[in-house]
Amino acid sequence: MHEMSLMQGVLDILQDSAKSQSFSRVKTVWLEIGALSGVDPDAMRFCFEATTRDTLADGAVLDIAETPGQAWCMQCSQPAEIAARFDPCPHCGSYRLQVTGGDQMRVKELEVE
């Protein structure tokens, strides 16, 4: 599963931060998932427990914030919010959109001890 390796990547980030910021347990992980990132939040939730078992984040809470897809319409020169890649501009219907945000997944914040 695609999300399994993504979650492994998240765990790598947690372990690196634990080393550089010297904490030993992660209590909460805030994950930001863009609507255009192609990452399924439910699948990430599903993978979280299995991936973090017996690690520094064992038993931690996963909080996922979904951010909307953002684009710039080159036709009507204004920002547009889109739900999926290759959606038309909600203002003018043009497909000449440049994605400007909401296409990534990132660890936003950690609660540690």
One symbol per residue from 52 to 71: x for binding Zn ion (CB under 5 A), - otherwise; what is it? --------------------
Site residues (CB under 5 A) for Zn ion, limited to 87-106 = 89, 91-92, 94
Each residue of 22-40: b (16+ CB within 10 Å) or e? Answer: ebeebeebebbbbbbbebe
Q: What is the dihedral of CA 98, 9, 5, 2, to 10 degrees?
A: -20
CB closer to Zn ion out of 82 and 89: 89
Query: Least separation, in Å, of the C-beta of 100 and Zn ion?
Result: 13
Q: How far is CA 15 from the centre of its chain?
A: 18
Residues near Zn ion (CB under 5 A) are 73, 75-76, 89, 91-92, 94
